[in-house]
Amino acid sequence: MEIKKFAKQLGASIALLSVSVSSFAGSCDQQQVSVLHQKAYAYNEAINNSAIKYRVNPALIKAVITAESCFRNEAKSHKGAGGLMQLIPATAKRFGVNDRFDPAENIDGGTRYLRWLLNRYGGSMPHAIAAYNAGEGRVDRYGANVPIEETAVYTRRVLNAYSKLASNGRPVQRNTVKATPIPVAAPVKPAPVKKDDRWKWDEFS
Protein backbone atom coordinates (compact mmCIF):
# COMPACT_ATOMS: atom_id res chain seq x y z
CA MET A 1 0.00 0.00 0.00
CA GLU A 2 2.80 2.40 0.93
CA ILE A 3 4.55 1.75 -2.40
CA LYS A 4 1.32 2.50 -4.31
CA LYS A 5 0.83 5.70 -2.32
CA PHE A 6 4.40 6.80 -3.02
CA ALA A 7 4.00 6.03 -6.73
CA LYS A 8 0.84 8.17 -6.87
CA GLN A 9 2.57 11.07 -5.13
CA LEU A 10 5.57 10.78 -7.46
CA GLY A 11 3.29 10.76 -10.50
CA ALA A 12 1.47 13.84 -9.26
CA SER A 13 4.78 15.64 -8.67
CA ILE A 14 5.97 14.84 -12.19
CA ALA A 15 2.66 16.04 -13.64
CA LEU A 16 2.94 19.32 -11.72
CA LEU A 17 6.52 19.75 -12.87
CA SER A 18 5.57 19.27 -16.54
CA VAL A 19 2.72 21.78 -16.16
CA SER A 20 5.08 24.36 -14.64
CA VAL A 21 7.65 23.77 -17.40
CA SER A 22 4.94 24.14 -20.06
CA SER A 23 3.66 27.34 -18.45
CA PHE A 24 7.18 28.74 -18.24
CA ALA A 25 7.77 28.18 -21.96
CA GLY A 26 4.30 29.49 -22.71
CA SER A 27 4.91 32.82 -20.98
CA CYS A 28 8.39 33.27 -22.47
CA ASP A 29 7.18 35.53 -25.30
CA GLN A 30 5.95 38.03 -22.67
CA GLN A 31 9.48 38.70 -21.46
CA GLN A 32 11.40 41.81 -22.47
CA VAL A 33 13.33 41.66 -25.73
CA SER A 34 16.63 42.16 -23.86
CA VAL A 35 15.88 39.02 -21.80
CA LEU A 36 15.09 37.03 -24.95
CA HIS A 37 18.36 38.15 -26.56
CA GLN A 38 20.23 37.15 -23.41
CA LYS A 39 18.62 33.69 -23.44
CA ALA A 40 19.48 33.29 -27.15
CA TYR A 41 23.09 34.43 -26.74
CA ALA A 42 24.58 30.95 -26.18
CA TYR A 43 22.95 29.71 -29.40
CA ASN A 44 23.52 32.73 -31.66
CA GLU A 45 26.22 31.08 -33.75
CA ALA A 46 24.04 28.05 -34.53
CA ILE A 47 21.01 30.30 -35.18
CA ASN A 48 22.91 32.60 -37.54
CA ASN A 49 24.52 29.68 -39.39
CA SER A 50 21.11 28.07 -39.95
CA ALA A 51 19.54 31.42 -40.87
CA ILE A 52 22.11 31.93 -43.63
CA LYS A 53 22.05 28.30 -44.77
CA TYR A 54 18.26 28.13 -45.15
CA ARG A 55 17.48 31.83 -45.74
CA VAL A 56 15.25 32.16 -42.68
CA ASN A 57 15.15 35.34 -40.61
CA PRO A 58 17.07 34.65 -37.35
CA ALA A 59 14.32 36.51 -35.48
CA LEU A 60 11.84 33.85 -36.64
CA ILE A 61 14.12 31.02 -35.50
CA LYS A 62 14.48 32.67 -32.08
CA ALA A 63 10.71 33.28 -31.92
CA VAL A 64 9.96 29.59 -32.52
CA ILE A 65 12.52 28.60 -29.86
CA THR A 66 10.92 31.14 -27.49
CA ALA A 67 7.49 29.51 -27.85
CA GLU A 68 8.76 25.93 -27.98
CA SER A 69 11.28 25.72 -25.12
CA CYS A 70 12.18 29.22 -23.90
CA PHE A 71 15.79 28.39 -24.89
CA ARG A 72 15.98 25.32 -22.60
CA ASN A 73 17.96 22.75 -24.55
CA GLU A 74 16.94 19.91 -22.21
CA ALA A 75 13.20 20.59 -22.64
CA LYS A 76 10.94 17.61 -23.36
CA SER A 77 7.21 17.51 -24.03
CA HIS A 78 4.60 14.90 -23.15
CA LYS A 79 4.22 14.29 -26.91
CA GLY A 80 7.86 13.19 -27.22
CA ALA A 81 9.28 16.42 -28.67
CA GLY A 82 12.73 17.44 -27.46
CA GLY A 83 15.37 20.14 -27.57
CA LEU A 84 15.32 23.84 -28.31
CA MET A 85 12.95 23.64 -31.29
CA GLN A 86 11.04 20.67 -29.83
CA LEU A 87 11.49 18.17 -32.65
CA ILE A 88 9.64 14.86 -32.43
CA PRO A 89 11.69 11.82 -33.50
CA ALA A 90 9.92 11.53 -36.88
CA THR A 91 10.58 15.18 -37.80
CA ALA A 92 14.18 14.93 -36.58
CA LYS A 93 14.77 11.90 -38.81
CA ARG A 94 13.00 13.57 -41.74
CA PHE A 95 15.29 16.60 -41.58
CA GLY A 96 18.58 14.87 -40.81
CA VAL A 97 18.88 15.33 -37.04
CA ASN A 98 20.63 12.47 -35.22
CA ASP A 99 20.78 14.05 -31.76
CA ARG A 100 17.82 16.29 -30.92
CA PHE A 101 19.58 17.53 -27.78
CA ASP A 102 22.62 18.78 -29.64
CA PRO A 103 21.78 22.50 -30.00
CA ALA A 104 23.41 22.96 -33.42
CA GLU A 105 21.72 19.86 -34.85
CA ASN A 106 18.36 20.74 -33.35
CA ILE A 107 18.44 24.32 -34.66
CA ASP A 108 19.63 23.16 -38.09
CA GLY A 109 16.81 20.60 -38.36
CA GLY A 110 14.15 22.94 -36.99
CA THR A 111 15.19 25.76 -39.32
CA ARG A 112 15.32 23.40 -42.29
CA TYR A 113 11.76 22.37 -41.44
CA LEU A 114 10.70 26.04 -41.16
CA ARG A 115 12.18 26.75 -44.61
CA TRP A 116 10.35 23.74 -46.03
CA LEU A 117 7.08 25.01 -44.55
CA LEU A 118 7.64 28.56 -45.79
CA ASN A 119 8.25 27.19 -49.28
CA ARG A 120 5.13 25.02 -49.06
CA TYR A 121 2.92 27.98 -48.08
CA GLY A 122 4.34 30.59 -50.42
CA GLY A 123 6.31 32.41 -47.74
CA SER A 124 3.32 32.88 -45.40
CA MET A 125 4.68 33.04 -41.87
CA PRO A 126 1.32 32.39 -40.09
CA HIS A 127 0.76 29.25 -42.20
CA ALA A 128 4.30 27.98 -41.56
CA ILE A 129 4.06 28.63 -37.82
CA ALA A 130 0.67 26.93 -37.52
CA ALA A 131 1.97 23.92 -39.48
CA TYR A 132 5.07 23.72 -37.27
CA ASN A 133 2.70 23.18 -34.34
CA ALA A 134 -0.27 21.32 -35.84
CA GLY A 135 1.24 19.64 -38.91
CA GLU A 136 0.92 20.35 -42.62
CA GLY A 137 -2.21 18.22 -43.01
CA ARG A 138 -4.31 20.44 -40.77
CA VAL A 139 -3.02 23.65 -42.35
CA ASP A 140 -3.65 22.25 -45.83
CA ARG A 141 -7.22 21.64 -44.73
CA TYR A 142 -8.00 24.73 -42.64
CA GLY A 143 -5.43 27.33 -43.60
CA ALA A 144 -3.52 29.35 -40.98
CA ASN A 145 -6.54 29.44 -38.63
CA VAL A 146 -6.43 25.81 -37.53
CA PRO A 147 -9.42 25.24 -35.18
CA ILE A 148 -7.25 24.03 -32.30
CA GLU A 149 -6.82 26.37 -29.33
CA GLU A 150 -3.25 25.21 -28.66
CA THR A 151 -2.24 26.11 -32.23
CA ALA A 152 -3.97 29.50 -32.09
CA VAL A 153 -2.19 30.36 -28.83
CA TYR A 154 1.11 29.02 -30.15
CA THR A 155 0.87 31.12 -33.34
CA ARG A 156 0.16 34.26 -31.32
CA ARG A 157 3.15 33.57 -29.06
CA VAL A 158 5.55 33.04 -31.96
CA LEU A 159 4.33 36.15 -33.81
CA ASN A 160 4.54 38.22 -30.61
CA ALA A 161 8.12 37.09 -29.97
CA TYR A 162 9.00 37.62 -33.64
CA SER A 163 7.63 41.18 -33.57
CA LYS A 164 9.79 42.00 -30.54
CA LEU A 165 12.95 40.33 -31.83
CA ALA A 166 12.70 41.63 -35.41
CA SER A 167 12.20 45.22 -34.26
CA ASN A 168 14.50 44.85 -31.22
CA GLY A 169 11.62 45.92 -29.01
CA ARG A 170 10.96 49.21 -30.78
CA PRO A 171 7.33 50.11 -31.49
CA VAL A 172 6.38 49.45 -35.11
CA GLN A 173 5.98 52.73 -37.00
CA ARG A 174 3.10 52.82 -39.46
CA ASN A 175 3.01 54.75 -42.73
CA THR A 176 6.61 55.94 -42.43
CA VAL A 177 7.39 55.27 -46.10
CA LYS A 178 6.45 58.10 -48.45
CA ALA A 179 4.93 57.06 -51.75
CA THR A 180 6.60 58.34 -54.93
CA PRO A 181 4.28 60.77 -56.77
CA ILE A 182 2.95 59.42 -60.09
CA PRO A 183 1.77 61.85 -62.81
CA VAL A 184 -1.94 61.51 -63.55
CA ALA A 185 -4.52 63.29 -65.67
CA ALA A 186 -6.30 66.25 -64.11
CA PRO A 187 -9.15 65.02 -61.93
CA VAL A 188 -12.79 65.72 -62.65
CA LYS A 189 -14.13 68.39 -60.33
CA PRO A 190 -15.74 66.50 -57.42
CA ALA A 191 -19.21 67.12 -56.07
CA PRO A 192 -19.40 69.22 -52.90
CA VAL A 193 -18.67 67.20 -49.77
CA LYS A 194 -20.82 67.44 -46.67
CA LYS A 195 -19.14 69.06 -43.70
CA ASP A 196 -19.01 65.88 -41.57
CA ASP A 197 -17.90 63.57 -44.40
CA ARG A 198 -14.26 62.43 -44.22
CA TRP A 199 -12.06 59.65 -45.50
CA LYS A 200 -11.47 57.34 -42.59
CA TRP A 201 -8.05 56.20 -43.79
CA ASP A 202 -6.77 59.80 -43.85
CA GLU A 203 -6.70 59.66 -40.05
CA PHE A 204 -3.78 57.21 -40.24
CA SER A 205 -1.69 58.99 -42.87
Catalytic positions, please? 68
One-letter amino acid at 114 equals L
CB atoms within 10 A of CB 145: 13
Spatial separation of the C-alpha atoms in residues 60 and 27, rounded to whole Å: 17
3-state secondary structure of 18: helix
Angle formed at CA 19 by CA 17 and CA 24, multiple of 5 degrees? 95
Q: Are 79 and 88 in contact (CB under 8 A)?
A: yes
What single-letter amino acid sits at 107?
I
Whole-number Å distance between alpha carbons of 81 and 75:
8
DSSP result, 104-139: HHHHHHHHHHHHHHHHHTTT-HHHHHHHHHH-HHHH
Beta bridge partners of 76: 82
Which residues 6+ apart lie within 8 Å of 49 measured at CB? Answer: 104, 108
Of 33, 47, 29, residue with least CA distance to 114: 47
